[in-house]
A and B are shown apart, each in its own frame.
Chain A
């Protein structure tokens, strides 16, 4: 680890917080305003939406499901029919049923798991009208849901939590789109291509032919990062020199993927009328994320003794990393992309050292809340906060409350229902795949790393992350189908109970803060919340992690290979 490495890490975090603060305040104002913005009125008239009519939690959730199901169907068809559609300069044929199923859920559920290599599979039209669209809409869906959950705390005795169509429109057109234009301009300036051409052919200095794939990369790259989507234009994702041409493009990538998620707790604080509450959640997210960065950086710098034995004069692990990013920026990217549910990668996670690979996996398994996907990270963190005040309440024998809303048996049952979705999907599918003869030929590595590949895949899918231990050949009917189900469950089965909690809390009175209330903005609560997140994650996943990366770590130290 070097001083310059840490300076870069600290600087990126400082800039993110500095930008997230005003962005959060802006979003609070945007989603709180009742009068329409220019262009909104006409759009709602055209779509038959009455922007003043608010929805109950159930109507809101149903509208969200319907909208996302349409997105799924359209994206499925675009992929299957891309050969008959325009802008297919490489002449790619339609994708298989199971790949289209997987990719459609993947991009609708804000996961962007990719069982395919972008530049060898998807036409420009599919990338733009299919994948880029869902990059916006799945992120906007997350923002809308988080806004609705936030309103549940901000309101008293309310029957409604907002209008999904209005929140969706505003999140897309007035949050994500302007940011995407700015970030895309930055990417282009720094060297990311943006053309409708398919590829160019070069003659190398040694006289060989090199076909260089091109495309509308910058526009997709911008929203891929801003929306914590993570699905790259190219197979190698942000490690591809056209997606991450230099250190400045890399900083911009990390900034863009963090900024909206970091702004969400600021928005929350402003909307519930107590900035300290948002600040506490933001501190928890950032403290745990920085711990993750440090762990990966340390592990990669400590390196792989099996490689240094082969006559390499530094232990630093450069397998699967790019020289222009180095260890610090690869570690930062790996932690941020998995603490968020982004899933873009600028280094190959499969080739991280065992403990360096454990951290991203664990960050995903903690529920994608550090700071999580845009929107989904905030409501995931709120579920954890409810669990924390409940545990604190049990300790002192009081009915707990969070932000003046009494947390009772009904809310806790729903919260536990939501929390159980992830371990059920992750551990269940991993266990089945590890025993299934038809799944095992997909593995690229044997020994504990093979199990890690499967565990990582389902952690990534259920957490709606999308990064991979990419040795795994997931483009098979088994993995495409089960990962598709895991992504849909991780998104939609999780959020329905959360919306039910929101509906229930919105209807409650806000009880005044008294001497006996547990303050949820101080260091005690921050510590408790971190503890609850770690213990819950540890209890659920430690046995599986022990069989994968932890065993591999000790095998590596003992000089064993597989």
Chain B
């Protein structure tokens, strides 16, 4: 057993240096040189100010904006504490929460039923996307709040639908932050 101690300790130390220090530092160097945007979080920077990350959802409650999914991360879209709601399918807490959110959203958008992603919490609490159906449902509300023609807002949503590659790969979706930034460009103030 003791004759094995030296191989065990030395091999552990060497492999630790290779996999725990050399490997991540090497990859960090490559990432910063070759993929600087992705490596630093795909940030959206306008006039020197970080507005968020293209990949990370944000809270939107104003009628002037498209709303994202329900978030269980911290107080909502806390990108320092990702989390799902983790409520089971027969949980009263889940049903009460979905019922309350569904009523609120239906009233705001003036509809009688919702797409399945609208009132349910995402897995990460940071889901940047919503389904095209949920985005289109919000067009009327957003257009009214901004005094824009519905057609113009609808066209903007259509332009922001990310369709599956080759019609197969991926889910059709709309990035809420990108859409809202485009919306602000369309009707500032």
Contact = CB atoms under 8 A, between A and B. Distances in A.
Contacts, number: 380
A396 interface: no
A352 interface: yes
Contacts of B30: 185, 188
Interface in A185-232: 185, 188-197, 199-206, 208, 210-214, 216, 218-220, 223
Interface in B1-29: 1, 4-12, 14-16, 18-21, 23-24, 26-28
A236 B84 contact: yes
A202 B65 contact: no
Interface stretch (A254-262, A409-417, A442-450, A458-466): A442-450
A508 interface: no
A181 B31 CA distance: 11
A157 interface: no
Contacts of B187: none
Interface residues of A, number: 126
A348 B82 contact: no
Contact of B12 (A74, A322, A347, A448): A74
Contacts of A212: 41, 43, 52-53, 56, 79-80
Contacts of A322: 122-124, 127, 129
A306 interface: yes
Contacts of A312: 98, 102, 113-116, 118-119
B147 interface: no
A311 interface: yes
Contact of A319 (B16, B24, B89, B181): B89
A323 interface: yes
A130 B20 CA distance: 7
A47 interface: yes
B102 to A, nearest CB: 5
B171 interface: yes
A354 B7 contact: no
Contact of A241 (B40, B56, B65, B169): B56
Contacts of A201: 50
A357 B86 CA distance: 12
Nearest to A131: B20
A237 B101 CA distance: 26
Nearest to B38: A191
A223 B24 CA distance: 11
Contacts of B4: 59, 62-63, 66
A380 B54 CA distance: 43
A355 B65 CA distance: 37
A445 B88 contact: yes
A214 B168 CA distance: 31
B10 to A, nearest CB: 4
Interface in A431-489: 444-449, 452, 469-471
Given A190-B38, A211-B80, A324-B171, A236 B86 contact: no
A236 B20 contact: no
A235 interface: yes
A311 B102 contact: yes
A324 B170 CA distance: 7
A7 to B, nearest CB: 5
5 contacts: A46-B10, A177-B23, A181-B27, A188-B30, A319-B120
Interface of A: 4, 7-8, 43, 46-49, 59, 62-63, 66-67, 70-71, 74, 117, 119-120, 128-130, 132-133, 135-137, 165, 168-169, 172-173, 177, 180-181, 184-185, 188-197, 199-206, 208, 210-214, 216, 218-220, 223, 234-236, 239-242, 245-248, 251, 303-304, 306-307, 310-326, 329, 345-348, 350-354, 357, 444-449, 452, 469-471, 552, 555-556, 560-562
